[in-house]
């Protein structure tokens, strides 16, 4: 398996622009997580999906952030409009629940977002 | 709510020396605990995990960790560090999700530097 795939790996944009980050989870995994990593706040869980349904979005910082999972193999995280404080590394992770509590989250390589 | 503390932000060891990275957790029930490693520009890779049973857990790359309930700790150890171990290490506690899987809360990380 290719693992969790994220694109783009790097994104530089200007304040006010829309940014879309993409994630392809590992085939067969039914959980998908979006994290943000910054120096100030460390790794934060933004939102997670189970079977394509958003379950907990309490970590989404504000209404400018939205996430979708239209099918089992694709998810997006959108920021509109973007602001310099959104600059961070965004990680996607997936795991296969199937009732097993011992499951591991597998992380993608991340997208480094810079908002100028 | 669960939380994780990694008291050491930076640690420097000589190659061949032993290593111990500290992790303390706060959780109301039996915790599910993880150690991940992040190399520069990479995603997070699972080193090991504890769910139940033997309190000494073996992981990849020669790492091990010991769960001590009385001290609320899950310290990571390696008897002899290699230069390639230089990376950032994250401890995490998992909240079990309905239907399986874990929701992770991460510590702030410990940056390991290895001197040759």
* Contact status, residue A6 vs residue A110, Cβ threshold 8 Å: yes
Q: Is B82 or A2 the better-scoring residue by pLDDT?
A: B82
A102 contacts in chain B (CB < 8 Å): 32, 49, 51
Decide if pLDDT at B63 tops 70. yes
For the ranges A14-23, B31-40, B88-97, the one whose mean pLDDT is highest: A14-23
CB-count burial class (<10 Å; 0-12, 13-18, 19+) for B67: buried
A31/B101 CB distance under 8 A = yes
Q: Does residue B107 sit at the A interface (CB-CB below 8 Å)? A: yes
* Contact status, residue B107 vs residue B6, Cβ threshold 8 Å: yes
B43/A108 CB distance under 8 A = yes
- Rounded CA-CA distance A69/A51 in Å is 9
Residue with tokens 């809360």: B105
Displacement of CA A13 from its chain's centroid (Å):
18
Decide if pLDDT at B100 tops 70. no
pLDDT at residue A98, as a whole number: 59
* Contact status, residue B91 vs residue B76, Cβ threshold 8 Å: yes
Q: Does residue B109 sit at the A interface (CB-CB below 8 Å)? A: yes
């Amino acid at each position: 398996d290719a693992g969790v795939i994220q694109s783009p790996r790097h994104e530089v944009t200007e304040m006010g622009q829309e940014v879309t980050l993409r994630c392809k989870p590992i085939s067969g995994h039914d959980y998908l997580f979006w994290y943000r990593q910054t120096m100030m706040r460390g790794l934060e869980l933004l939102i997670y999906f189970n079977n394509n349904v958003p379950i907990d979005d309490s970590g989404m910082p504000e209404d400018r952030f939205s996430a979708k999972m239209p099918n089992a193999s694709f998810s997006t995280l959108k920021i509109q409009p973007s602001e310099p404080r959104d600059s961070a590394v965004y990680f996607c992770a997936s795991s296969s629940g199937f009732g097993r509590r011992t499951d591991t989250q597998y992380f993608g390589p991340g997208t480094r977002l810079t908002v100028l | 709510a669960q939380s994780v503390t990694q008291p050491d932000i930076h640690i420097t060891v000589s190659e061949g020396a032993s290593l111990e990275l500290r992790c303390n957790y706060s959780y109301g029930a039996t915790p599910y605990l993880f150690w991940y490693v992040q190399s520069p520009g990479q995603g997070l890779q699972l080193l090991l995990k504890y769910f139940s049973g033997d309190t000494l857990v073996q992981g990849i790359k020669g790492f091990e960790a010991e769960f001590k309930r009385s001290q609320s700790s899950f310290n990571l150890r390696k008897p002899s560090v290699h230069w390639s171990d230089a990376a950032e290490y994250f401890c995490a506690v998992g909240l079990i999700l309905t239907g399986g899987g874990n929701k992770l809360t991460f510590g702030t990380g410990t940056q390991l530097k290895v001197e040759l």
